[in-house]
Structure 1
Amino acid sequence: MTSQNADDRRAHIVRAAARLFEQKGYHNTNVGDIAEAVGLRKATLYHYVKSKAQILVWIHDDTTGPLLERLEKDIANGIEPREGLRHVVADILELMETKPGYLRVYFEHHREIPEDLQAESKRKRDRYQHLVETLIEDGVQRGLFRKDLNVRLTVLALFGMTNWSYQWYTPGGEYGYHRLADELLKTFLLGVEPR
């Protein structure tokens, strides 16, 4: 099997597993369910994957990797902090359309990753948070955001507002993810009190 075929097979397995984990839950899905969903025998699936936990790690990698890559590129290119935050929000919402199930699995099952595999996932999550904190700090230095902000709490508030959206946002509904990102960011930046 060529490297491209193996990559395609891995992507197919991950997509199917993410859907099953979202629908049935991680603990209620077994390797046989995943094999059936991708049209393989269980023994054949083990040719591509060592365990259900490895698939969970791949889902985390496929979630964090693109987000981290985009944010690193934005910051390297000197993006204006408000626009950078808009990208952060939009990128997370876009995942719900392009990778159904990934965010729910990412947020609800990251503690299920075996301890020996957690270090890299945690490193990526921490790096991502640090970069968003960098955007906020840049905005404070430029006078775009209040000088008295607690940067860490501000970032956690943004994540709380954005990351929870997988519970209620319906792709293809009234709002597309770009419009929803603009609305959420406006509420985040301006609050709800009249000026």
Structure 2
Amino acid sequence: MAGGGAGSAAGSRADEQRQRILAGAVTVFSRRGYRAASMNEVAEQVGLRKPTLYHYVRTKQDLLVAVYEEVLDESLARGRAIVARASSTREAVRELIVDRAAYTCEHRDLLTICFEEESELPPDLRQPILERRRVYERLVREAVEDHLRESGLTLPIAVNVYVNTLLGAANWTYKWFDPAGPRTPRELGEDVATVLLAVLDAG
């Protein structure tokens, strides 16, 4: 029993250290760009010696993959929770839009990496990342399709076009959101949802 507890504590500490390293990598990658950043800079960012850093992560590429996995896994978990608790199919779509835009604004450093460094992933690592993204996109598409089916509405464009436009509008806020501006991430997300739902409601 005691040994198991000690092992669990050690595992928890290792996980915490990896999260610290990942957060440091996000800071360095978003500031310097993935290609220009070095593992030395990541180690300095988190206050570790380079050999200690390599105890937790093997390569810079592993850190980049971990960034994508964190964003996509969290996005999917949030999306599923939204759909599960929504009071209606329309509310599910609305909240998915609001949450996507707000999350993007709140994590601009993460999203800058995800949207601008994808070409740095080799094909064998890119495919699992793309599949994770497709799972999230399917969640959004199914929410839209459920609402259309339940409401009897039709879109003036293909559902896939609407969903890609929806996600593009919500995701692109990382480029122009002003943290010092008059709108909070959540308020901006609600503005984006208002515009996009007008198309859906007009059907």
Following superposition of structure 1 onto structure 2, how do residues 130-149 of structure 1 map, counting pairs within 5 Å?
130-143=138-151, 145-149=153-157
1:126 is matched with which residue? 134
Deviates more, 1:170-179 or 1:86-95: 86-95
Equivalents in 2 of 1:144, 1:52: separation in Å? 50
Q: For 2:127, give the aligned amino acid.
A: A
Displacement after TM superposition at 1:23 (Å):
1.2
Query: Does the 8 Å CA contact 1:95/1:103 hold for their aligned counterparts?
Result: no
Distance 1:94 1:3 in 2: 32
Measured after TM superposition, the shift of residue 77 of structure 1 is: 4.9
CA spacing shift, 1:26–1:145, aligned 2, 3 Å: farther
* Residue identity matched to 2:11: S
1:15 is the counterpart of 2:5? no
**2:177 — aligned with what?**
169
Gaps in structure 1 of 5+ consecutive residues: none
Superposed CA RMSD in Å reads 2.1
2:73 counterpart residue number:
65
CA gap 1:58/1:145 in 2 versus in 1, 3 angstroms: farther
Quick one: which of 155, 159, 178 aligns to 2:186? 178
| Aligned length in residues | 191
| Distance in 2 between residues matched to 1:90 and 1:172, nearest whole Å | 19
2: distance between equivalents of 1:186 and 1:95? 17
Q: Which residue of 2 aligns with 1:51?
A: 59
Q: CA deviation at 1:50?
A: 0.8
TM-score of the pair, normalised by structure 2: 0.84
Deviations 1:117-165 (A, max 9, x none): 2232111100111111101111211227425441100001011111111
* 2:4 corresponds to: none
Deviation at 1:100, TM superposition (A): 4.7
- Choose from 192, 196, 202 the match for 1:188: 196
- Give the whole-Å Cα distance in 1 for the aligned partners of 2:87 and 2:157: 20
Name whichever structure is richer in helix by fraction: 2
Give yes or no for contact 2:106–2:185 (8 Å, CA) kept in 1: no
Q: Identity of paired residues, percent? A: 29
Q: CA deviation at 1:52?
A: 0.8
TM-score normalised over the length of structure 1: 0.88
Stretches of structure 2 that go unaligned for 5 or more consecutive residues are 1-8
